[in-house]
Chains A and B, each alone.
Chain A
């Protein structure tokens, strides 16, 4: 009996699936033409000789060997790799923690004008990265930037430092600007996650006499775990593909002295633009970098997804 209904349901479902798949077809075509094909083509390109976009000389793993065995190339690659992790770390520590904090504060019942705050927090995310990048570059300009002028008027000139010109601070500064810009995204996602947590739990906690901090730690945070997972993946993918914020603030070389060079700028410089002034791009090597980045992203995303999907399926059982 049970089996029969199951089979009926199954047939019914497959019927729906076939019909639905027709609706997916246009999107699938576009995805294949503009996402999947370029992706696989760039993997293919990484096995071909560089020097020309239309080159047909198959060289096997030569581009990868040159990338990792040549001292100069591998130094650039691993330094960009490390910088990207640092970039990701700052985003996790600043952007996503602030995101949770803002979301929790916005959910506070007594808060007046939550809509206004929500808008303010989200506005930077609607601006172009090039615009915010140049804006911050201007604000941080040691000669006529707003920050330098402000510090001078309050007599703290000694703290007016060339934030974007010192290898010690440059990457942190750029990362913070990027975190500032995108903080609205995790805020919105956490807000949506918080709205899904049933009030019963908070009421129960209230009755049990839990403090605010305890409620956050033992109810809010565990219930947000799946959202945290998604936000982590999005941040991870976004950061390993990031390019524009460094391009806008520190040019394609990742100035000063390659200290803000991340995977995105390295790929752009090697594969597309070529380095000033000779600027002969090396598409084969660029594709090798892109493919390596793709592998890192695929493995990283799979790991995070696995960790968080376990939690969400456990929750579904409950």
Chain B
């Protein structure tokens, strides 16, 4: 018994000793500056490992002293995992940063470094592009990396057969839906089963058109407009307008079912984000993306959402190398390389003409021309408290679409829920 214990203890000591020697070795190697520095990048984009490997390999080509390893986590676990890593001191050197409150919180907790002075950041990005990763007093906590767009995918073959064009107004859109329905085809593929998508890719995709885009949002946030004003009621009403055109059993169908309904040609239109562009690569019909139309008399808007920035760990061992990478991402050269490797539907945010190879991705980006742009309504201010504006919008939309509440009630609930914690922007 005692002998066994001795063996165990000496084994443990041995393992520890080896570790000490091993880390000692690594330190001396970096001090010699011969071995390349190895940085780790955290992300929630587990689907993009190949693309990011390609992009980071390009970086090593021009910066041979730095190797960056892409280490994504399962998307829904990213926020929790990252926070755990950062608190325990095992966080990555560089990492994807969520826009607004979620990212800002990590900066306020001292995990994200202040990157306001990264060269190129102020020159190459508009303030609108930088603001999702900025504090109220104007400090940047991440370099803008990619944005996603929102729109309505449509089956061009069906539109041609029925003599339809991309609608100019919401009223035209509904008329088109009637025509499609009369032809025996499901007009809109979306559904309620997964809940989140009805808020993110339908409500927040059409909302800018109804509330007057960015300016409208700022008016709500500054308290100039009540959250249950006529525009908000109209947005909820628009959600109700869609109900007759949704597939049978839409209450139980999921996000993936909706995608499949459009991809198999059973539905003529489908509200979704640009990240789904790649999923329709091999469908047997012509398709395109149209902008969600505004109601008559309002200016057209697009929900163009700041999705991911890249932040730097305050505790990184290699702050110099990490900031150099951020500066590269903020440069035209870096953004061009990134655009080459980024998955379809993720757009660089840099203020420079960047060519995008995929024609459908280009078509979707072109919708931005002549339209106002804004991020998803709930992101900038509505997710900082409980109940979050996101949930109020999501459950409000579902209740309206199921006939449990009227659009007016849903808007009133939004206002009442936010009144519990929301403080208007000064």
In the complex, how many angstroms separate the beta carbon of B196 from the nearest chain A beta carbon? 5
Contact with A along B86-106 (1 / 0, CB 8 A): 011000000000000110010
Q: Is the CB of B88 within 8 A of A279?
A: no
Pairwise interchain contact A165-B105, C-beta atoms closer than 8 A: no
The answer, among A141, A166, A253, A277, for a CB contact under 8 Å with B253, is A141
CB-CB nearest 4 A-B residue pairs: A142-B249, A165-B251, A165-B252, A162-B252
Stretch at the interface among B52-60, B324-332, B347-355, B391-399: B391-399
Name B residues whose Cβ lies closer than 8 Å to a Cβ of A: 76-77, 79-80, 83-84, 87-88, 101-102, 105, 192-196, 200, 247-253, 257, 261, 266, 383, 386-388, 390-391, 395, 398-399, 402
- Beyond A54-B87, A275-B391, whether A162 also contacts B79 by CB under 8 A is no
A residues 124-167 touching B (CB-CB < 8 Å)? 140-143, 148, 160-166
> When the two chains form their complex, are residues B195 and A160 in contact, meaning their CB atoms are under 8 A apart?
no
Does A284 sit within 8 A of B, measured CB to CB? Answer: no
Tell me which residues across on chain A come within 8 A of B402, comparing CB atoms. Answer: 256
* A207 on the B face (CB < 8 A): no
Minimal beta-carbon separation of A254 from chain B (angstroms): 10
State whether the Cβ of A214 lies closer than 8 Å to any Cβ in chain B.
no
Let me know if B194 and A273 touch, CB within 8 A. no
Q: Contact flags (1/0) for A273-290 with B, using CB distance below 8 Å?
A: 111111111000000000
In Å, the complex CA distance between A253 and B76 comes to 13
| B195 x A255 contact (CB < 8 A) | yes
A251: which of B102, B195, B261, B390 is its contact (CB, 8 Å)? B195
> Bound state CA distance, A300 and B42, in angstroms?
45
User: Are A143 and B249 touching (Cβ within 8 A)?
Assistant: yes
A251 surroundings in chain B (CB, below 8 A):
194-195
Contact assessment for A280 and B105 in the assembled complex, using a CB-CB cutoff below 8 Å: yes
Q: Are B80 and A278 in contact (CB under 8 A)?
A: no
Q: Within 8 Å CB of A160, what residues of B?
A: 248-249
| Bound CA–CA A182/B275 (angstroms) | 39
Across the interface, do A165 and B102 meet the contact criterion of CB distance under 8 Å? no
- Inter-chain CA distance A160–B76, complex, in Å, is 33
Contact between chains at B257 and A143 (CB < 8 Å):
yes
A11 proximity list for chain B (CB < 8 A): none
Q: Are A143 and B261 in contact (CB under 8 A)?
A: yes
On chain A, the number of residues with a Cβ less than 8 Å from chain B's Cβ atoms is: 31
Closest to B199 in A: A277
A195 within 8 A of B: no
Contacts of B383 in A (CB 8 A): 277-278
Q: Output the least CB separation between A273 and chain B (Å).
A: 6
Query: Complex: how many Å from CA A251 to CA B76?
Result: 12
Name, among A53, A142, A163, A275, the residue most crowded by chain B CB atoms within 10 Å (CB to CB). Answer: A142
Cβ B252 vs Cβ A142 within 8 A: yes
A99 to B48, CA, bound (A): 48
20 contacts between A and B (CB under 8 A): A72-B386, A72-B387, A141-B252, A141-B253, A143-B247, A143-B248, A143-B261, A162-B252, A163-B252, A164-B193, A165-B251, A166-B252, A251-B194, A255-B193, A255-B194, A255-B195, A276-B196, A278-B79, A279-B76, A279-B102
Q: Knowing that A164-B252, A165-B251, A166-B252 touch, tell me 6 more A-B residue pairs with CB under 8 angstroms.
A: A143-B257, A163-B252, A164-B193, A255-B194, A256-B195, A273-B77
A213 at the interface (CB under 8 A from B): no
Contact B248 A142 (CB under 8 A): yes
Alpha-carbon distance between A142 and B79 when the two chains are bound, in angstroms:
34
Output the nearest chain B residue to A72 by Cβ-Cβ distance: B387
Q: Which of A37-95 contact B (CB under 8 A)?
A: 52-54, 72
Please classify the interface of chain A as helix (H, G, I), strand (E, B), loop, or mixed, using the class held by over half of its residues: loop
B388 touches A278 (CB 8 A): yes
**A163→B390 CA distance, assembly (Å):** 26
User: A295 to B193, alpha carbons, bound, how many Å?
Assistant: 34
Interface string of A149-193 (1 = CB under 8 A from B): 000000000001111111000000000000000000000000000
- How far does the alpha carbon of A54 sit from the alpha carbon of B192 in the complex, in Å? 37
Kindly provide the distance from the CB of A76 to the nearest chain B CB, expressed in whole angstroms: 10
Q: Give the complex CA separation of A272 and B80 in angstroms.
A: 8
Q: Confirm or deny: A24 has a beta carbon within 8 angstroms of a beta carbon on chain B.
A: no
B133 to chain A, nearest CB (A): 16
Note all chain A residues with C-beta closer than 8 A to B88: 53-54
Contacts of B257 in A (CB 8 A): 141, 143
CA distance A165 to B257 in the complex (A): 13
Tell me if A257 is interfacial: C-beta within 8 Å of chain B: yes
**Contact of B252 with A257 in the complex, beta carbons under 8 Å:** no
Q: B91: shortest Cβ distance to chain A, in Å? A: 13
Q: Identify B395's interface contact among A257, A273, A274, CB under 8 A.
A: A257
Cβ–Cβ < 8 Å partners of B80 in chain A: 272-274, 279-281
A288 to chain B, nearest CB (A): 16
Minimum distance in angstroms from B80 CB to a CB of chain A: 5
| Cα of A119 to Cα of B171 in the assembled complex, Å | 59
Does the CB pair A162–B251 fall under 8 Å?
A: yes
Chain A residue contacts of B76, Cβ below 8 A: 273, 276, 279
Q: Report the bound CA distance from A276 to B280 in whole Å.
A: 26
Q: Which residues of A contact B261 (CB under 8 A)?
A: 143
Report Cα–Cα, A11/B406, bound state, in Å: 78
Chain A minimum-CB-distance residue to B388: A278
State A102–B395 Cα separation when bound (angstroms): 43
Q: Tell me the bound Cα distance from A140 to B251 in angstroms.
A: 12
Min Cβ gap A280→B in Å is 6
User: Smallest Cβ distance from A181 to chain B, in angstroms?
Assistant: 20
Which of B87, B196, B251 is within 8 Å of A52, CB to CB?
B87
Among B79, B87, B251, B399, which residue has its beta carbon within 8 angstroms of that of A279? Answer: B79
List chain A residues, Cβ under 8 A from B249: 141-143, 148, 160-162, 165
- Distance to closest chain B CB from A145 (angstroms): 9
- Give the most central of B83, B249, B398, B402: most A CB within 10 Å: B249
Closest residue of B by beta carbon distance from A73: B386
A143 to B193, CA, bound (A): 13
Measured CB to CB, the nearest residue on chain A to B248 is A142
Inter-chain contacts of A277 with B (CB < 8 A): 102, 196, 200, 383, 390
Q: How far is the CA of A283 from the CA of B257 in the complex (A)?
A: 34
Q: Which residues of A contact B388 (CB under 8 A)?
A: 275, 278
Residue of A nearest to B382 (CB): A278
**Bound-state Cα–Cα, A279 to B194, Å:** 16
Instruction: Give min CB distance, A173 to chain B, whole Å.
Output: 10
Report chain A residues within 8 Å CB of B391: 275
Residues on the A chain within 8 Å of B386, using CB: 72
With both chains docked as a complex, state the minimum distance between the C-beta of B105 and any C-beta of chain A, in angstroms. Answer: 7
B86 vs chain A, min Cβ distance (A)? 9
Contacts of B387 in A (CB 8 A): 72
B247 touches A166 (CB 8 A): no
C-alpha gap A253/B198 in the complex (Å): 14
Instruction: Using A141-B257, A273-B76, A275-B391 as known contacts, say yes or no to A165 and B87 having CB atoms under 8 A apart.
Output: no
